[in-house]
Structure 1
């Protein structure tokens, strides 16, 4: 699902106008469509990686434009998101169709796979495993790789299964962790013990497929606070962090702003800047320059500045993407809106950025994450 395709059309007349459409159906049985019109070059070809659309659902050359720019058949695409499959048995198909002069010229269907070959998954429960989530492991026989503890933000539940499955498909064992709003867990983001995350990381480290010297925490938005706290407070266990739309400080609970979000040793973690003096691995902070939910671009830069100030020896970088908002991550190519139907806070429903800006950020940012993981242990 996170790998690009490179569509092209040949056999056209030079300068001939051709329209290419895309169509897919998501898990909720919503039909999505994209469209772009081109002029064939002097060789009678349209190469979507480099061709400028004359009109359509995206505006700049992009071989994957017909994938991420799809919109639902009805309604506002800025408040809708394509809902991908949830299990290895499910895939989704994108059909590309070329028409010219009122006639269909060609059609090709691309199957977007959820799991790489041989990847396995195992559901974890609080009753049986002391943590809730899903463990994804690469195909048997894959050499030991760095691993990733992945968890989401204020949405709660087990919201990062797609990211974890794709990481495992690239060879990196990953545990998609829920920490509230599931059976056996707190109902809301309130008084979440950091020890709970550490237990999940130890479970991951004990797997024979995992290079336990390189376990990263990866999270989004409110979860970025826990990821950075883990990297600082458990440096022998968590060796760095990847944080999307991050915060550089501990914030209050959610939706109860009078509660503490995190605890350690049974005591509340104070609402203050997150210390980063003990981090023992790389840190990548990824933000959209137009994040309207909170000041993640400023916080991403602050995270790197704090690591610079303590002369942190590991790679650390802030990636700030123009035209992207709070929807800056994680993996690319799924259509996604920029606004919420219901406000995520008392006042904010616009997450900022544009669909094209977020799509570009996800494509580039995801490649940087995979490159970081590939460099570990090499």
Structure 2
């Protein structure tokens, strides 16, 4: 297994971040996390900034002095950025998509945030690989967080592959490890907004979202869920164009349905960004 991340507080290089500043600040800061694409979400950051948010979009793997893949990425990397936003903002939100939603939810269980926006979320921590070695997506103080290992007997039966079947099979095959890897979302004191396309073919984000809602309901915590029956894994907010590239896989949905999900979610996103505007 590769050497684990140093316990030295991670530093985010200038090339791996993008800051969007609003013309009329609302007092809300947003840490914006993409998924497995590894990109810095500059366009989405600028969109949120037009509505008063001070946004830091960041690359969290594959950048300067960063882990090369989503494998043993230190959660401290995100906690540090939340602290930076706290210096200038009255409220801080983490907005993540897919693996970025996983990072957002995990981070919010470990440090104080005012809200989480999680698009195509997961309710558990997953495995990642580097140089053939499998471990958790995340570390804390250098130690990998509990994770769900993949079912290595799974073979895709289509092209492009529908990885949702792999995630479902892995959960069923390792129920005890899945229980240990559950993200304790009841520790998130702020609101959680979940955005889900029910035709997500990457992983069962609809089922994961229901599990998050149920866990937080028991704890008496506020959770909102926006969904669309025909949308897939990739959310399109107003004015955004469909993304290209990334790992070859079936993602589900259509550009039209993904955009409709974005239209449904947009008023809720604006409400979370600035509750005073409601």
| Displacement of 1:332 | 2.2
The counterpart of 2:219, out of the listed 310, 313, 330, is: 310
Q: Deviations over 1:86-140 (max 9, x none)?
A: xxxxxxxxxxxxxxxxxxxxxxxxxxxxxxxxxxxxxxx8357xx931121112x
Structure-2 separation of matches of 1:178 and 1:258: 21
CA distance in 2, matches of 1:343, 1:284: 27
Q: Per-residue deviation at 1:342? A: 6.7
Task: Measure, in 2, the Cα distance between the counterparts of 1:133 and 1:361.
Answer: 27
Following the alignment from structure 1 to structure 2, what is the Cα–Cα distance between the partners of residues 335 and 126? 28
Q: Shift of residue 227 of structure 1? A: 0.5
Q: In structure 2, what is the Cα distance between the partners aligned to 1:377 and 1:358?
A: 26
Moved over 2 A (4+): 125-128, 254-257, 332-337, 340-344
2:140 is equivalent to residue 264 of structure 1 = yes
Task: Report if the CA contact (8 A) 2:125-2:136 is conserved.
Answer: no
Separation (CA, whole Å) in 2 of partners of 1:299 and 1:153? 16
Equivalent in 295, 319, 327 of residue 226 of structure 2: 319
Q: Distance in 1 between matches of 2:93 and 2:245?
A: 33
Distance 1:273 1:202, change over 3 A: same
Change (3 A) 1:280 1:204: same
Gaps of 5+ in 2: 1-10, 148-180
Contact 1:330 1:366 in 2 (8 A): no
Q: Is the 8 A contact 1:331 1:366 kept in 2?
A: yes
Please say if 1:373 is aligned against 2:267.
no
Q: Taking structure 1 as reference, are residues 224 and 342 closer, same or farther at Cα in structure 2, changes over 3 Å only? A: closer
Aligned to 1:223: 100
- Which protein has the larger Cα radius of gyration, Structure 1 or Structure 2? 1
In the TM superposition, residue 279 of structure 1 has moved relative to its aligned partner by 1.0
Judging changes above 3 Å, is the alpha-carbon distance between structure 1 residues 186 and 376 closer, same or farther for their aligned structure 2 residues?
Answer: farther
Unaligned stretches of 5+ residues in structure 1: 1-124
- TM-score, normalization by structure 1: 0.58
CA apart distance, 1:175: 0.5
Q: How many residues align?
A: 234
Normalising by the residue count of structure 2, what TM-score does the alignment of the two structures yield?
A: 0.77
CA distance in 2, matches of 1:257, 1:291: 28
Among 175, 183, 194, the residue aligned to 2:56:
175
Match for residue 134 of structure 1 among 11, 14, 18 = 18
Alignment partners' CA distance in 2, 1:227 and 1:317: 16
Residues 12 and 77 of structure 2 are in contact (CA less than 8 Å); yes or no, is this contact kept in structure 1? no
- Residue 32 (structure 2) pairs with residue 150 (structure 1): yes
Question: Is the Cα–Cα contact under 8 Å of residues 271 and 277 in structure 2 kept in the other structure?
Answer: no
Give the CA RMSD over aligned residues: 2.2
Q: Deviations over 1:229-250 (max 9, x none)?
A: 1111112xx2220000110100
Q: 1:253: which partner in 2?
A: 128
Question: Larger % of strand: which?
Answer: 1
Establish whether residue 336 from structure 1 lines up as the match of residue 242 from structure 2: yes
